[in-house]
Amino acid sequence: MRVLVTGGAGFIGSHVVDVLVEAGHTVRILDALLPAVHRVRPVLNDQAEFMVGDVTDPPTVASALDGMDAVCHQAAMVGLGVDLDDLPAYATHNDLGTAVLLAAMARRGVERLVLASSMVVYGEGGYRCAVEGPVRPGPRRTADLDAGRFEPPCPRCGRPLLSTPVTEDAPLDPRNVYAATKVAQEHLAAAWATATGGSVLALRYHNVYGPRMPRDTPYAGVAAILRSALERGEPPRVFEDGCQLRDFVHVHDVARANLAALRHDAAPGRLVAVNVGSGQPHTVGDMAHALAGAFGGPMPVVTGQYRIGDVRHVVASSDRARDLLGYQATVSFTDGMVAFARAPLRR
């Protein structure tokens, strides 16, 4: 198969390229090498063709699609950002870029798309109240966060809630700008599939970590931020009380999920969403302590600070990934964190 990987020079995209090349596919990379991520030119798989270009530029995208059978769309601006001044950049790179790509795919007759989505589309994860059953907590209130009340209460009776795995059928509830753009990407891709008869597998990545994560950038995920602090000789700073539950999944497993998605004969004319996680919840504090211990310190500091766009708990249900794609994570939390503690970061 001939596959275009947008964002193929980035953290996740470069690992996807490696897996596709190893599996015998012909790979072309399209990447704008944005300075927020690539401060030096990255070293790429020499068996893949490389094009420098922006996914928002129609002539560039049309050229990149020439001769391709499928697209693995990884290009995106990620993370919570700094403030709302980032909003136009997120909408441009994520949503306009996806729209340009989909329009070009329709003109070229490329009908297979694997879309890098994210668990952020859910907002909060799954919750159950002992009295009310499954519930959806509302946005967390600043007054509660200022007082150190980080757990969302039951929206009906106010009792404490139990975190449960979130399934792909959960309502979409984006709670920050990045999340809103990922929801828009899915909606655009679904509309494209309906209009063209193409197929879309939207892989909703949970918290991805591993080698080649960018260092010292506010747009990186929590794993890179904590690991960057250790690299600087500083204690990792853990927000809230460190008990936020996440599903940390190694980038090698995420790359394997992309390969499985490209091999799968997805239903034409529709988008199918699939969680990509490890299936094993851990707290942010767990990760910070595991990294610091493997790195050799300094140990984390729990700050009690918060970011208003963050959610409390979100953990993946991996049932659909297993049943549909035959995907199951292979890198354990312990092994992954030990390796990541000394893995080179992208400067």
Q: For residue 181, give the 3-state DSSP assignment.
A: helix
List all residues 6 or more positions away from 143 whose beta carbon is below 8 Å from its beta carbon. none
Q: Which residue has the tokens 């891709």?
A: 189
pLDDT value at residue 82? 63
| CA 60 to chain CA centroid, nearest Å | 25
Work out the average pLDDT over 215-229. Answer: 84
pLDDT value at residue 345? 87
Give me the residues paired with residue 316 across strands.
Answer: 166
pLDDT value at residue 220? 74
Answer yes or no: are the C-beta atoms of 178 and 120 closer than 8 Å: yes
pLDDT for 48 beyond 80: yes
Structural domains in the chain, CATH included, are 2-124+166-212+247-279+317-330 (3.40.50.720)
CB atoms within 10 A of CB 81: 18
How far apart (Å, rounded) are the C-alpha atoms in residues 194 and 242?
A: 42
Nearest Cα residue to 78 out of 69, 90, 88, 66? 90
- Give the model confidence (pLDDT) of 239-297 as tens digits: 999 999 999 999 999 999 999 999 999 889 999 999 999 999 999 999 999 999 999 99
Q: What is the signed CA dihedral for 257, 272, 87, 151, rounded to 10 degrees?
A: -80
Q: Return the minimum-mean-pLDDT range out of 5-14, 71-80, 225-234.
A: 71-80
Which tokens sit at 201?
């597998």
DSSP labels, 270-332: EEEEEEES-S-EEEHHHHHHHHHHHHT-PPPEE-----TT--S---B--HHIIIII-----S-
pLDDT value at residue 258? 98
List all residues 6 or more positions away from 8 whose beta carbon is below 8 Å from its beta carbon. 14, 16, 17, 27, 29, 30, 31, 44, 48, 50, 72, 74
Q: Return the minimum-mean-pLDDT range out of 38-42, 83-87, 155-159, 251-255.
A: 38-42
- Give the model confidence (pLDDT) of 19-35 as tens digits: 999 999 999 999 999 87
Residue 341 or 345, more confident: 341
Cis status of the peptide bond prior to 174, with omega within 30 of 0: no
pLDDT for 79 beyond 80: no
From the candidates 178, 205, 209, 306, give the one annotated as an active-site residue. Answer: 178
pLDDT for 9 beyond 80: yes
Answer yes or no: are the C-beta atoms of 121 and 182 closer than 8 Å: yes
CA distances from 109 to 104, 191, 204, 294 (A): 8, 15, 25, 49
122 is catalytic: no
pLDDT value at residue 266? 85
Identify the burial level of 158 via C-beta atoms within 10 angstroms of its C-beta, where 0-12 means exposed, 13-18 middle and 19 or more buried. Answer: exposed
pLDDT value at residue 7? 97
Strands 126-129 and 161-164: antiparallel
Which run of H or E residues covers position 246?
strand 245-250
Dihedral sign (CA 242, 246, 252, 255): negative
pLDDT value at residue 218? 65
List all residues 6 or more positions away from 217 whose beta carbon is below 8 Å from its beta carbon. 36, 37, 79, 224
pLDDT value at residue 88? 93
pLDDT for 96 beyond 70: yes
pLDDT value at residue 219? 64
Work out the average pLDDT over 4-15. Answer: 96
Q: Which residue has the tokens 């008869």?
A: 197
Work out the average pLDDT over 41-64. Answer: 94
Q: What is the mean pLDDT of the chain?
A: 94
- Give the model confidence (pLDDT) of 174-201 as tens digits: 988 999 999 999 999 999 999 999 999 9
Work out the average pLDDT over 64-83. Answer: 90
Return the beta strands (E) in 130-234 as ranges. 133-135, 161-164, 199-205, 207-209
Q: Please report which confidence band the pLDDT of residue 81 belongs to, taking 50, 70 and 90 as the band edges.
A: low
Q: Please report which confidence band the pLDDT of residue 214 belongs to, taking 50, 70 and 90 as the band edges.
A: confident
